[in-house]
């Protein structure tokens, strides 16, 4: 329970590689999450060392294409600088876990409302799993970062993975080399309305 309040997004990591047993424990925590219809719509691909470097080479190709070539997300081009920064963090983090939904397709494909509702439920389930993973990482003394900036390199990353599954997000892991203060939060009163 303390991890709920003590966890921070960690963007600086020590080079030391966490033991595989810790990564396995973090994934077990993810799998313990609730999921819509118990579909457990998550797959995890763990990248370290050379495999991570190769993956990030593909991410860089995608970010450069968005910046200099055919942008698939032109409305959010302003977010590209942040995405390049996130990629540098991913280079320094010893472990990178890509999180996939095997039951959903590319977000660039058209979708009917039934499929969209199913995808929303699956994405919520995946969010619960990822939060469990971040909390378990914090409890084990590891730092983590939840990453959605993979979206800018969506075609490059999924082609590299050779998957039709939906790439939902990534999580970087490693021993923290910073201890950031809590970022501001809205108060319960700002975001809650009681009706009776
Ligand atoms: C779905 C999701 C995607 C995120 N994507 C990124 C990202 O790509 N790069 C990054 O630096 N931080 C990313 N973050 C981290 C947020 O910036 C961070 O959670 C927020 O600023 C609150 O800070 P805290 O996690 O330390 O409490 C993401 C967080 C979430 C939940």
Determine the Cα–Cα distance for residues 9 and 192; give it in Å rounded to an integer: 25
Average pLDDT, integer, range 14-36:
98
- What is the pLDDT at residue 165? 98
Ligand 1 centre distance from Cα of residue 130 (Å): 12
Tokens of 17: 């590689």
Average pLDDT, integer, range 37-56:
98
What does the pLDDT look like over 62-118, one tens digit per residue?
Answer: 999 999 999 999 999 999 999 999 999 999 999 999 999 999 999 999 999 999 999
Ligand 1 centre distance from Cα of residue 39 (Å): 26
- What is the pLDDT at residue 164? 96
Ligand 1 centre distance from Cα of residue 12 (Å): 14
What does the pLDDT look like over 112-166, one tens digit per residue?
Answer: 999 999 999 999 999 999 999 999 999 999 999 999 999 999 999 999 999 999 9
- What is the pLDDT at residue 33? 98
DSSP string, 134-164: HHHHHHTT-EEEEE-GGGGGHHHHHHHHT--
**34 in Cβ contact with 125 (< 8 Å):** yes
- What is the pLDDT at residue 194? 98
- Does residue 92 line the site of ligand 1, with CB under 6 A? no
Specify the DSSP element, H or E, that contains 171: strand 166-174
- Does residue 98 line the site of ligand 1, with CB under 6 A? no
Determine the Cα–Cα distance for residues 69 and 158; give it in Å rounded to an integer: 19
Domains of the chain with CATH codes: 6-176 (3.40.109.10)
pTM of the model: 0.97
Query: What contacts 171, CB < 8 A, 6 or more positions away?
Result: 96, 97, 99, 130, 133, 134, 144, 145, 146, 147
Determine the Cα–Cα distance for residues 135 and 142; give it in Å rounded to an integer: 9
């Amino acid at each position: 329970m303390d991890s709920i309040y003590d966890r921070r997004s960690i963007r600086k990591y020590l080079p030391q590689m966490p033991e595989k047993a810790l990564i396995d424990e973090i994934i077990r925590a993810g799998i313990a999450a609730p999921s819509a219809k118990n579909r457990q719509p998550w797959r995890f691909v763990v990248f370290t060392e050379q495999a991570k470097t190769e993956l990030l080479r593909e991410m860089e190709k995608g970010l450069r294409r968005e910046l200099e070539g055919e942008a698939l997300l032109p409305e959010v081009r302003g977010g590209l600088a942040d995405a390049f920064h996130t990629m540098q963090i991913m280079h320094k983090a010893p472990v990178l876990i890509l999180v996939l939904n095997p039951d959903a397709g590319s977000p660039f494909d058209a979708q009917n409302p039934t499929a969209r509702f199913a995808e929303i439920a699956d994405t919520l389930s995946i969010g619960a799993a990822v939060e469990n993973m971040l909390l378990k990482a914090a409890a084990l003394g590891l730092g983590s970062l939840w990453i959605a900036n993979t979206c800018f390199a969506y075609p490059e990353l999924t082609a590299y993975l050779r998957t039709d599954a939906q790439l939902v997000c990534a999580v970087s892991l490693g021993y923290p080399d910073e201890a950031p203060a809590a970022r501001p939060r809205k108060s319960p009163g700002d975001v809650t309305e009681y009706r009776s």
